[in-house]
Amino acid sequence: LAAFFAPKLLAGQQVLITAGPTFEAIDPVRGITNLSSGKMGFAIARAAREAGAEVTLVAGPVHLPTPRGVRRLDVVSAQNMLETVAGQAQAATVFIATAAVADWRPATSADHKIKKDGSGAVPALAFVENPDILATVAQSPRARSGQLYCVGFAAESENLLEHASAKRQRKGVPLLVGNIGPATFGQDDNALLLVDADGHRELPRASKVELARQLVAEIARRLRHTRA
Ligand code: CTP
Ligand code: CA
Protein backbone atom coordinates (compact mmCIF):
# COMPACT_ATOMS: atom_id res chain seq x y z
CA LEU A 1 0.00 0.00 0.00
CA ALA A 2 2.87 2.36 0.84
CA ALA A 3 4.23 1.79 -2.66
CA PHE A 4 0.88 2.88 -4.08
CA PHE A 5 1.12 6.29 -2.41
CA ALA A 6 4.86 6.75 -2.92
CA PRO A 7 5.68 9.14 -5.79
CA LYS A 8 6.56 7.19 -8.92
CA LEU A 9 10.26 6.97 -9.83
CA LEU A 10 10.01 9.04 -13.01
CA ALA A 11 7.05 11.27 -12.12
CA GLY A 12 7.41 14.63 -13.88
CA GLN A 13 10.03 13.36 -16.35
CA GLN A 14 9.66 13.59 -20.14
CA VAL A 15 11.42 10.55 -21.58
CA LEU A 16 12.36 10.35 -25.27
CA ILE A 17 13.44 6.92 -26.59
CA THR A 18 14.68 5.68 -29.97
CA ALA A 19 14.11 2.02 -30.81
CA GLY A 20 14.37 -0.54 -33.58
CA PRO A 21 16.50 -0.47 -36.72
CA THR A 22 16.55 2.18 -39.42
CA PHE A 23 16.00 1.37 -43.09
CA GLU A 24 18.04 3.14 -45.76
CA ALA A 25 16.55 2.95 -49.24
CA ILE A 26 18.54 1.87 -52.29
CA ASP A 27 15.50 2.15 -54.56
CA PRO A 28 11.71 1.94 -53.98
CA VAL A 29 11.84 -1.81 -53.31
CA ARG A 30 15.23 -2.34 -51.65
CA GLY A 31 17.35 -1.04 -48.84
CA ILE A 32 19.84 -1.83 -46.12
CA THR A 33 19.00 -2.19 -42.47
CA ASN A 34 20.31 -3.53 -39.16
CA LEU A 35 19.19 -6.50 -37.10
CA SER A 36 17.06 -5.19 -34.24
CA SER A 37 13.66 -6.28 -32.98
CA GLY A 38 13.09 -3.08 -30.98
CA LYS A 39 12.06 -5.16 -27.96
CA MET A 40 14.52 -3.60 -25.50
CA GLY A 41 13.53 -0.03 -26.42
CA PHE A 42 9.81 -0.83 -26.30
CA ALA A 43 10.29 -2.51 -22.90
CA ILE A 44 12.06 0.62 -21.61
CA ALA A 45 9.24 2.81 -22.95
CA ARG A 46 6.73 0.67 -21.08
CA ALA A 47 8.78 0.67 -17.86
CA ALA A 48 9.32 4.46 -18.01
CA ARG A 49 5.58 4.99 -18.53
CA GLU A 50 4.77 2.67 -15.61
CA ALA A 51 7.26 4.69 -13.54
CA GLY A 52 5.16 7.81 -14.16
CA ALA A 53 7.01 9.49 -17.06
CA GLU A 54 5.51 11.05 -20.18
CA VAL A 55 7.08 8.87 -22.86
CA THR A 56 7.71 9.52 -26.57
CA LEU A 57 8.98 6.53 -28.53
CA VAL A 58 10.60 7.18 -31.91
CA ALA A 59 10.50 3.80 -33.65
CA GLY A 60 12.12 2.51 -36.81
CA PRO A 61 10.40 -0.30 -38.76
CA VAL A 62 9.44 -2.94 -36.16
CA HIS A 63 6.54 -5.31 -35.59
CA LEU A 64 5.62 -4.51 -32.00
CA PRO A 65 2.52 -3.10 -30.32
CA THR A 66 2.81 0.36 -28.77
CA PRO A 67 3.05 0.16 -24.96
CA ARG A 68 -0.04 1.60 -23.23
CA GLY A 69 0.10 5.34 -22.62
CA VAL A 70 3.20 5.84 -24.78
CA ARG A 71 3.26 8.35 -27.66
CA ARG A 72 4.81 6.64 -30.69
CA LEU A 73 6.30 8.35 -33.74
CA ASP A 74 7.27 5.99 -36.60
CA VAL A 75 10.28 6.75 -38.79
CA VAL A 76 12.18 4.91 -41.52
CA SER A 77 15.70 6.24 -42.09
CA ALA A 78 18.38 7.60 -39.76
CA GLN A 79 17.80 11.07 -41.19
CA ASN A 80 14.04 10.79 -40.44
CA MET A 81 14.90 9.59 -36.95
CA LEU A 82 17.25 12.53 -36.31
CA GLU A 83 14.68 15.09 -37.55
CA THR A 84 11.96 13.57 -35.37
CA VAL A 85 14.22 13.32 -32.31
CA ALA A 86 15.46 16.89 -32.77
CA GLY A 87 11.85 18.08 -32.83
CA GLN A 88 11.11 16.32 -29.53
CA ALA A 89 14.36 16.81 -27.62
CA GLN A 90 13.58 20.37 -26.46
CA ALA A 91 10.76 19.06 -24.27
CA ALA A 92 12.61 15.98 -22.99
CA THR A 93 14.40 15.54 -19.66
CA VAL A 94 15.76 12.06 -20.44
CA PHE A 95 16.91 10.67 -23.81
CA ILE A 96 17.54 6.93 -24.18
CA ALA A 97 19.02 5.82 -27.52
CA THR A 98 18.37 2.10 -28.02
CA ALA A 99 17.96 2.25 -31.81
CA ALA A 100 20.26 0.21 -34.06
CA VAL A 101 20.84 3.11 -36.44
CA ALA A 102 22.37 2.18 -39.81
CA ASP A 103 25.84 3.72 -39.75
CA TRP A 104 25.81 4.32 -43.51
CA ARG A 105 23.19 4.95 -46.18
CA PRO A 106 23.44 4.65 -49.95
CA ALA A 107 24.81 7.96 -51.30
CA THR A 108 21.88 8.12 -53.70
CA SER A 109 18.49 6.43 -53.71
CA ALA A 110 17.08 5.61 -57.17
CA ASP A 111 13.58 6.97 -57.96
CA HIS A 112 12.68 3.78 -59.80
CA LYS A 113 13.47 0.13 -59.22
CA ILE A 114 16.98 -0.73 -60.44
CA LYS A 115 16.61 -3.41 -63.16
CA LYS A 116 18.97 -6.18 -64.20
CA ASP A 117 20.28 -5.37 -67.66
CA GLY A 118 20.74 -9.01 -68.66
CA SER A 119 24.53 -8.84 -68.88
CA GLY A 120 25.18 -10.13 -65.34
CA ALA A 121 26.64 -6.73 -64.37
CA VAL A 122 26.06 -5.87 -60.70
CA PRO A 123 25.32 -2.40 -59.35
CA ALA A 124 28.02 -0.66 -57.29
CA LEU A 125 26.74 1.03 -54.16
CA ALA A 126 28.47 4.10 -52.71
CA PHE A 127 27.74 4.95 -49.07
CA VAL A 128 27.79 8.07 -46.93
CA GLU A 129 27.84 8.16 -43.14
CA ASN A 130 24.59 8.80 -41.29
CA PRO A 131 24.31 11.46 -38.59
CA ASP A 132 24.99 10.23 -35.04
CA ILE A 133 21.68 10.90 -33.31
CA LEU A 134 22.88 10.20 -29.78
CA ALA A 135 26.05 12.30 -30.12
CA THR A 136 24.05 15.16 -31.68
CA VAL A 137 21.56 15.21 -28.80
CA ALA A 138 24.32 14.75 -26.18
CA GLN A 139 26.12 17.84 -27.53
CA SER A 140 23.02 20.06 -27.34
CA PRO A 141 23.05 22.88 -24.77
CA ARG A 142 20.29 21.27 -22.66
CA ALA A 143 22.21 18.00 -22.42
CA ARG A 144 25.47 19.76 -21.65
CA SER A 145 23.85 21.81 -18.88
CA GLY A 146 22.34 18.69 -17.26
CA GLN A 147 18.68 19.44 -18.13
CA LEU A 148 18.58 16.48 -20.52
CA TYR A 149 20.08 13.22 -19.21
CA CYS A 150 21.36 11.04 -22.10
CA VAL A 151 21.73 7.27 -22.09
CA GLY A 152 23.36 5.28 -24.90
CA PHE A 153 23.37 1.59 -25.74
CA ALA A 154 26.09 -0.51 -27.32
CA ALA A 155 26.06 -3.96 -28.84
CA GLU A 156 29.63 -5.18 -29.19
CA SER A 157 30.86 -8.55 -30.36
CA GLU A 158 34.03 -8.43 -28.21
CA ASN A 159 35.72 -6.48 -25.37
CA LEU A 160 32.40 -5.07 -24.18
CA LEU A 161 33.66 -3.10 -21.16
CA GLU A 162 36.54 -1.53 -23.04
CA HIS A 163 34.44 -0.57 -26.06
CA ALA A 164 31.51 0.60 -23.94
CA SER A 165 33.73 2.85 -21.78
CA ALA A 166 35.38 4.37 -24.85
CA LYS A 167 31.98 4.82 -26.53
CA ARG A 168 30.54 6.53 -23.44
CA GLN A 169 33.31 9.11 -23.51
CA ARG A 170 33.25 9.54 -27.28
CA LYS A 171 29.50 10.17 -27.29
CA GLY A 172 29.70 12.42 -24.23
CA VAL A 173 26.95 10.63 -22.29
CA PRO A 174 26.85 10.00 -18.52
CA LEU A 175 25.54 6.42 -18.87
CA LEU A 176 26.17 3.80 -21.52
CA VAL A 177 24.48 0.40 -21.43
CA GLY A 178 26.14 -2.60 -23.06
CA ASN A 179 24.30 -5.69 -24.23
CA ILE A 180 26.20 -8.60 -22.74
CA GLY A 181 26.57 -11.16 -25.55
CA PRO A 182 25.73 -13.48 -27.19
CA ALA A 183 23.67 -11.36 -29.59
CA THR A 184 20.14 -10.97 -28.26
CA PHE A 185 18.34 -9.91 -31.45
CA GLY A 186 14.69 -10.81 -31.18
CA GLN A 187 15.13 -12.65 -27.87
CA ASP A 188 12.96 -11.88 -24.87
CA ASP A 189 15.84 -11.84 -22.41
CA ASN A 190 19.17 -10.09 -22.14
CA ALA A 191 21.92 -9.13 -19.69
CA LEU A 192 23.20 -5.57 -19.42
CA LEU A 193 26.41 -3.84 -18.40
CA LEU A 194 25.97 -0.30 -17.01
CA VAL A 195 29.01 1.92 -17.54
CA ASP A 196 29.26 5.38 -16.01
CA ALA A 197 32.01 7.74 -14.82
CA ASP A 198 32.31 5.83 -11.52
CA GLY A 199 32.73 2.36 -13.01
CA HIS A 200 30.50 -0.46 -14.16
CA ARG A 201 27.87 -2.83 -12.85
CA GLU A 202 26.06 -5.80 -14.35
CA LEU A 203 22.31 -6.39 -14.49
CA PRO A 204 22.21 -10.20 -14.73
CA ARG A 205 20.25 -12.09 -17.36
CA ALA A 206 16.52 -11.51 -17.07
CA SER A 207 13.57 -10.72 -19.32
CA LYS A 208 13.87 -7.47 -21.27
CA VAL A 209 10.79 -6.19 -19.40
CA GLU A 210 12.44 -6.87 -16.01
CA LEU A 211 15.76 -5.37 -17.14
CA ALA A 212 13.93 -2.31 -18.42
CA ARG A 213 12.42 -1.80 -14.94
CA GLN A 214 15.84 -2.12 -13.33
CA LEU A 215 17.37 0.30 -15.83
CA VAL A 216 14.59 2.83 -15.20
CA ALA A 217 15.31 2.58 -11.46
CA GLU A 218 19.03 3.13 -12.14
CA ILE A 219 18.30 6.18 -14.29
CA ALA A 220 15.93 7.60 -11.65
CA ARG A 221 18.65 7.19 -9.01
CA ARG A 222 21.18 9.03 -11.19
CA LEU A 223 18.67 11.83 -11.90
CA ARG A 224 18.20 12.34 -8.15
CA HIS A 225 21.97 12.64 -7.71
CA THR A 226 22.71 14.88 -10.70
CA ARG A 227 19.73 17.17 -10.07
CA ALA A 228 19.73 17.16 -6.27
N1 CTP B 1 23.59 5.84 -32.38
C2 CTP B 1 22.87 6.90 -32.89
N3 CTP B 1 23.05 7.30 -34.18
C4 CTP B 1 23.94 6.66 -34.98
C5 CTP B 1 24.69 5.57 -34.47
C6 CTP B 1 24.48 5.18 -33.17
O7 CTP B 1 22.05 7.49 -32.15
N8 CTP B 1 24.10 7.08 -36.23
C9 CTP B 1 23.41 5.47 -30.97
C10 CTP B 1 22.78 4.11 -30.75
O11 CTP B 1 21.38 4.22 -30.65
C12 CTP B 1 23.42 3.68 -29.43
C13 CTP B 1 24.79 4.33 -29.47
O14 CTP B 1 24.69 5.42 -30.39
O15 CTP B 1 22.74 4.24 -28.32
C16 CTP B 1 25.92 3.42 -29.86
O17 CTP B 1 25.64 2.84 -31.11
P18 CTP B 1 26.72 1.88 -31.75
O19 CTP B 1 26.25 1.43 -33.09
O20 CTP B 1 27.08 0.83 -30.74
O21 CTP B 1 27.98 2.87 -31.88
P22 CTP B 1 28.63 3.64 -33.08
O23 CTP B 1 29.02 4.98 -32.56
O24 CTP B 1 27.77 3.62 -34.29
O25 CTP B 1 29.97 2.83 -33.33
P26 CTP B 1 30.21 1.38 -34.01
O27 CTP B 1 28.91 0.91 -34.63
O28 CTP B 1 31.28 1.62 -35.01
O29 CTP B 1 30.67 0.49 -32.86
CA1 CA C 1 26.88 1.71 -35.20
Structural domains in the chain, sorted by start: 11-108+128-227 (3.40.50.10300)
Q: How far is the CA of 131 from the centre of ligand 1 (A)?
A: 10
Average pLDDT over residues 93-104: 98
Q: Which atom of ligand 1 is least distant from the CA of 78? A: 8
* Nearest ligand (C-alpha, residue 155): 1
Side-chain half-sphere of 86: how many Cα atoms within 13 Å? 13
* Nearest ligand (C-alpha, residue 150): 1
> Is the pLDDT assigned to residue 140 strictly greater than 70?
yes
Above 0.90 for ipTM, yes or no? Answer: yes
Q: How far is the CA of 22 from the centre of ligand 2 (A)?
A: 11
Residue 48 phi/psi, 5-degree rounding, is -65, -40
Q: How far is the CA of 171 from the centre of ligand 1 (A)?
A: 9
Strands 54-59 and 71-74 come out as parallel
Residue 80 designated active-site: no
* Pick from 187, 192, 189: nearest CA to 204: 192
Q: Please check if 182 is assigned to a binding site.
A: no
User: Is the pTM of the predicted complex or chain greater than 0.90?
Assistant: yes
pLDDT band at 225 (very low <50, low <70, confident <90, very high): confident
Catalytic residue among 34, 159, 179, 190: 34
pLDDT of residue 219: 98
Q: Please check if 32 is assigned to a binding site.
A: no
Q: How far is the CA of 20 from the centre of ligand 1 (A)?
A: 12
d(CA 132, CA 209): 27
b/e per residue 73-90 (b: at least 16 CB within 10 A): bebbbbebbbebbeebbe
Q: Which atom of ligand 1 is least distant from the CA of 137? A: 7
Give per-residue pLDDT as tens, 1-49: 666 777 799 999 999 999 999 999 999 999 999 999 999 999 999 999 9
pLDDT of residue 184: 67
**Do the Cβ atoms of 150 and 174 come closer than 8 Å?**
yes
Sign of CA dihedral 77, 65, 100, 91: positive
Q: Please check if 134 is assigned to a binding site.
A: yes
Report residues whose beta carbon is within 6 angstroms of any ligand 1 atom: 18, 78, 97, 99, 101, 103, 130, 132-134, 152-155, 167
Q: DSSP letter at 17? A: E
Q: What percent of the chain has pLDDT over 90?
A: 88
Q: What percent of the chain has pLDDT over 70?
A: 97
Give per-residue pLDDT as tens, 204-224: 999 999 999 999 999 999 999
